[in-house]
């Protein structure tokens, strides 16, 4: 039986003016959003650019970490390096296809989503390939040096929208929106 093609999902937090990063880091503190990121991505392959991996500083636990780099010698414990976004998607697809259920949880659903987790360069290349976008819209203009492409509403429509008030460990209120093609 042919395996179903995986869903390619971009996951990002973006300011009203498109900013996603500053000086190699995130220009906000959004603890609530990090929890959502973890819950959504856990057990799925996650693709990121080398600069984002460096910024996080260590592999995301419980997920296959695939890092895109042009540096053939680059390596980091707990991450797999590939030379292009296409190669990253191929590797993630192969990983999903080789899924073996955990004997302790034999009925757990097989993961079928590949998450693209930034940063700016990788998002720009992934937009044409993505099936869905998990976007945390930060409701402010923020100074920064890295941006997310504008979401073209003739291509994407919102299928879920949720206001998230700023919690104790959040610098901003956000609006979490799932965008799908079509």
Ligand X SMILES: NC(=O)c1ccc[n+]([C@@H]2O[C@H](COP(=O)([O-])OP(=O)(O)OC[C@H]3O[C@@H](n4cnc5c(N)ncnc54)[C@H](OP(=O)(O)O)[C@@H]3O)[C@@H](O)[C@H]2O)c1
Which residues contact ligand X (rule: CB under 6 A)?
Answer: 12-13, 20-21, 24-26, 48-52, 55, 68-71, 74, 83-85, 117-122, 125, 146
Q: Among all chains, which residue has been given the structure tokens 């079928």?
A: 112
Among 129, 180, 120, which Cα is nearest to 156's?
180
Q: Given the complex with ligand X, which of 27 and 111 has the nearer CB atom?
A: 27
Q: Given the complex with ligand X, which of 29 and 110 has the nearer CB atom?
A: 29
Q: Given the complex with ligand X, which of 28 and 111 has the nearer CB atom?
A: 28
Instruction: Find out whether 145 and 96 touch, Cβ atoms under 8 Å.
Output: no
Output the CA–CA distances (angstroms, integers) from residue 61 to 42, 140, 141, 157, in the order listed: 8, 31, 32, 31
Task: Work out how close the CB of 178 gets to ligand X at its nearest, in angstroms, rounded to a whole number.
Answer: 15
Task: Work out how close the CB of 147 gets to ligand X at its nearest, in angstroms, rounded to a whole number.
Answer: 9
- CA 107 – CA 101 distance, rounded (Å): 8
Task: Work out how close the CB of 50 gets to ligand X at its nearest, in angstroms, rounded to a whole number.
Answer: 3
Task: Work out how close the CB of 159 gets to ligand X at its nearest, in angstroms, rounded to a whole number.
Answer: 20
Q: Given the complex with ligand X, which of 55 and 171 has the nearer CB atom?
A: 55
Task: Work out how close the CB of 146 gets to ligand X at its nearest, in angstroms, rounded to a whole number.
Answer: 4
Beta bridge partners, 13, equal: 136
Q: Given the complex with ligand X, which of 7 and 76 has the nearer CB atom?
A: 76
Instruction: Find out whether 162 and 175 touch, Cβ atoms under 8 Å.
Output: yes
Could you give the dihedral angle defined by the CA atoms of residues 63, 47, 39 and 110, in that order, rounded to the nearest 10 degrees?
-60
């Amino acid at each position: 039986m042919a395996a179903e093609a995986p869903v390619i999902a971009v996951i990002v937090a973006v300011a009203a003016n498109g900013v996603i990063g500053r000086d190699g880091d995130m220009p906000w503190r959004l603890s609530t959003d990090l929890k959502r990121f973890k819950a959504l991505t856990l057990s799925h392959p996650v693709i990121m650019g080398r600069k984002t991996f460096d910024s996080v500083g260590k592999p995301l636990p419980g997920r296959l970490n695939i890092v895109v780099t042009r540096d053939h010698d680059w390596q980091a414990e707990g991450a797999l390096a590939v030379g292009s976004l296409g190669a990253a998607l191929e590797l993630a697809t192969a990983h999903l296809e080789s899924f073996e259920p955990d004997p302790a949880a034999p009925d757990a659903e097989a993961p079928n989503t590949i998450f693209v987790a930034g940063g700016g360069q990788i998002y720009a290349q992934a937009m044409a390939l993505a099936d869905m976008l998990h976007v945390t819209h930060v409701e402010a203009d923020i100074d920064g040096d890295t941006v997310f492409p504008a979401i073209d509403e003739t291509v994407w429509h919102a299928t879920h929208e949720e206001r998230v008030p700023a919690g104790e460990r959040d610098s901003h209120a956000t609006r979490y929106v799932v965008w799908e093609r079509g």
